[in-house]
Amino acid sequence: MKKACLLLEDGFYQEGLSLGAEGETIGEVVFNTSLTGYQEILTDPSYKGQIVCMTYPLIGNYGINSQDVESSQLQVEGFIIKEKSKIYSNWQAEKSLEEYLKENNIVGIEGVDTRAITKHLRVKGSMRGIISTTDFNLESLKEKLEKSPSIVGRDLVKEVFNSQVYEWEQPLISEFNPLISPQGKAVVIDCGVKFSILRNLKVYFEKVIVTPPVISLEKILEFQPQGILFSNGPGDPEPVSYAIDLAKKIIANLEKEKLNLGVMGICLGHQILGLALGAKTYKLKFGHHGGNHPVKDLRTGKIDITSQNHNFCVDSQSLPEDIEITHINLYDNTPEGMAHKKLPLFSVQFHPEAGPGPFDARYIFGRFKEICLREKT
């Protein structure tokens, strides 16, 4: 098997074996604590610009299928695992992880100490890294890293959103209450939306329209929506000025009572709404990536185990007085949700749709439907 290496920008270095395509790739290295769901992680647009290190040691044992995807293509810059499963077995499986990565030209590495990598990132913070199967000269690799851009100040949303307006037709296939009746229309501002968000919305809304973030409010209102949702997406929210400006216009019209609809944000959408409301955002030391984050609802006291994937956070101290923090992360007490005290607007930092992860927070989509239809009546 072909040799591969990993170098982080502070000089941390490991050698292993090539996984997937041969070549080189650069990105911000983060670790994900999910035990399963590697296919969903690979296709999540929120991972654009990032190399993902899986903390669970054995990856690939149930193969790859054409259903468990969160976008139309692989989005990660690279993939790091401890051990690739030599076999895969699942009734839905169509190919191996190795084949999947090669077909999509994703460079990865296996046979490295993912525990050591994770501990290093927790202490030092997430940082740029390079995986190579062709160059093992440390000075050469370091020079390439130094020339690579940081995700701070970089607009990654423009690299992942769909420029077309389309209607999402596929509902979620799950154990949802069959008594739920889809009603109304939701418009999703695609900042890198996951398919699972659209599937969940389709359970509650009769029509789900997806638009790019570079769209006018007037065009959105032509669809006569009852709700607008700002989706998840990759990277730093501050450079995504077009989405922030759109959110500002929506909020201004809500304040003037010119609009009668509900507004929600998920992950990057939560941060975009925060910036539009006048708050600030900052970069977390190593971000939240995984399916085991406990989040407390401050209104009810209920604790959900949530799926998360973000490097940036809303500064709760910078929020205006008419915004209430509704959820907190019990690992580090960072804000995980907020709501406007007067307007029909709320957002969550975690991923209520999971994909992968626990289903504890799916009720959030029902809450969104409630405020949307309440505003319309």
pTM: 0.96
- Whole-number average pLDDT of the chain: 96
Choosing from 91, 115, 147, the residue where a domain stops is 147
pLDDT above 80 for 176: no
Q: What is the CATH number of the domain that holds 365?
A: 3.40.50.880
What pLDDT score does 4 carry?
98
Q: Considering the domain boundaries, does residue 195 fall inside one? A: yes
Give every CB contact of residue 226 below 8 A, 6+ residues apart in sequence.
184, 185, 186, 205, 261, 262, 372, 373, 375, 376
pLDDT in tens, 24-48: 999 999 999 999 999 999 999 999 9
Choosing from 115, 147, 179, the residue where a domain stops is 147
For residues 218 and 12, what is the distance between their CA atoms, to the nearest angstrom?
A: 51
**Residue 5 among the catalytic residues:** no
Point out the catalytic residue in the list 9, 40, 77, 353. 353
What pLDDT score does 172 carry?
77
pLDDT in tens, 266-296: 999 999 999 999 999 999 999 999 999 999 9
Quote helix, strand, coil % in the chain, to nearest 5. Answer: 25, 30, 45
What pLDDT score does 181 carry?
85
The pair of three-digit structure tokens given for residue 261, joined into one six-digit string: 């609809």
Q: Is 291 helix (H, G, I), strand (E, B) or coil?
A: strand
What pLDDT score does 170 carry?
86
How many domains does the chain fold into?
2
Handedness of CA 99, 103, 104, 110 (dihedral sign): positive
Residue at token pair 């190579």 = 132
User: Are 198 and 254 part of one and the same domain?
Assistant: yes
User: Are 32 and 175 part of one and the same domain?
Assistant: no
Q: Considering the domain boundaries, does residue 152 fall inside one? A: no
Q: Residues 358, 305: contact at Cβ < 8 Å?
A: yes
Q: What is the CATH number of the domain that holds 133?
A: 3.50.30.20
**Residue 9 among the catalytic residues:** no
pLDDT above 90 for 342: yes
User: Are 61 and 189 part of one and the same domain?
Assistant: no
What pLDDT score does 374 carry?
85
Share of the chain above pLDDT 90, in %: 95
**Residue 353 among the catalytic residues:** yes
What pLDDT score does 178 carry?
64
Handedness of CA 57, 309, 172, 300 (dihedral sign): positive
User: Are 293 and 366 part of one and the same domain?
Assistant: yes
Point out the catalytic residue in the list 120, 270, 340, 351. 351
pLDDT in tens, 213-267: 999 999 999 999 999 999 999 999 999 999 999 999 999 999 999 999 999 999 9
pLDDT in tens, 137-173: 999 999 999 999 999 999 999 999 999 999 999 877 6
The domain containing residue 369 runs over which residues? 157-376
Point out the catalytic residue in the list 5, 267, 313, 372. 267
User: Are 297 and 187 part of one and the same domain?
Assistant: yes
